[in-house]
Chain A
Amino acid sequence: MTIAAGIGYALVALGPSLSLFVSVVSKKPFLILTLLSSTLVWLVSLIVLSGLWRPFLPLKANVRWPYALLVISSVCFQEALRFLFWKVYKRLEDVLDSFADRISRPRLFLTDKLQIALAGGLGHGVAHAVFFCLSLLTPAFGPATFYVDRCSKVPFFLISAIIALAFVTIHTFSMVIAFEGYAKGNKVDQVIVPVIHLAAGMLTLVNFASEGCVIGVPLLYVLASLTLVHCGKMVWQRLIESRNQSSPSR
Chain B
Amino acid sequence: MDRNQRPRSILESLGEELIAILTPVSICMFTVVLLVCVLNSDPSSSSASFSSIATAAYSETDSDSSWDKFVGAFLNSLVFVAAITIATFVLVLLFYLRCVKFLKFYMGFSAFIVLGNLGGEILVLLIDRFRLPIDSITFLILLFNFSVVGVLAVFMSRFSILITQSYLVLIGVLVAYFFTLLPEWTTWVLLVALAIYDIAAVLLPVGPLRLLVEMAISRDEDIPALVYEARPVIRNDSSLVQRRVWRERRSSQNDIENATQDDARVVRAEAEEGLVAATRERSEISVPLINQAENSETFLEGIGLGSSGAIKLGLGDFIFYSVLVGRAAMYDLMTVYACYLAIIAGLGITLMLLSVYQKALPALPVSIMLGVVFYFLARLLLEVFVVQCSSNLVMF
Contact = CB atoms under 8 A, between A and B. Distances in A.
Interface of A: 27-33, 36-37, 39-40, 43, 46-47, 49-51, 53-54, 57-59, 61, 67, 70-71, 74-75, 78, 92, 95-96, 98-100, 102-103, 105-106, 108-109, 112, 115-116, 128, 130-138, 148, 150-151, 156, 159-160, 163-164, 167, 197, 200-201, 204-205, 207-208, 213
Given A96-B10, A132-B389, A67 B394 contact: yes
A138 B341 contact: no
Contacts of B140: none
Contacts of A148: 391, 393
B356 to A, nearest CB: 16
B342 to A, nearest CB: 8
Interface stretch (B98-106, B209-217, B310-318, B374-382): B374-382
Contact of B388 (A43, A59, A109, A130): A59
A31 B381 contact: no
A43 B6 CA distance: 37
Contact of B11 (A30, A47, A61, A74): A30
A32 B345 contact: no
B284 interface: yes
B382 A46 contact: yes
Given A137-B333, A138-B332, A204 B395 contact: yes
B67 interface: no
Contacts of B391: 136, 148, 156
Nearest to B334: A135
A197 B382 CA distance: 21
Contacts, number: 162
B395 A163 contact: yes
Interface centre among A29, A46, A112 (most CB of B within 10 A): A29
A98 B292 CA distance: 10
B12 A27 contact: yes
User: Which 6 pairs across A and B sit closest by C-beta, in order of nearness?
Assistant: A50-B385, A135-B334, A201-B396, A29-B15, A207-B393, A29-B19
Contacts of A167: 395-396
Contact of B345 (A40, A75, A137): A40
A74 B396 contact: yes
A136 B293 contact: no
B291 interface: yes
Interface residues of B, number: 48
B344 A207 contact: no
15 contacts: A43-B337, A46-B385, A47-B377, A54-B385, A78-B396, A103-B284, A105-B8, A105-B9, A106-B9, A130-B337, A131-B334, A135-B333, A137-B333, A148-B393, A205-B394
B332 A135 contact: yes
Interface string B261-300: 0000000000000000000000010101101010000000
Interface in B359-396: 374, 377-378, 381-382, 384-396
A163 B288 contact: no
A46 B334 CA distance: 12
Contacts of A133: 390
A135 B15 CA distance: 29
Contacts of A92: 288
A57 B388 contact: yes
A50 B382 contact: yes
B14 interface: yes
Contacts of B9: 105-106, 108-109, 112
Contacts of A136: 386-387, 390-391
B15 A30 contact: yes
Interface in B319-376: 332-334, 337-338, 341-342, 344-345, 348, 374
Contact of A103 (B18, B22, B293, B345): B293
A138 B394 CA distance: 19
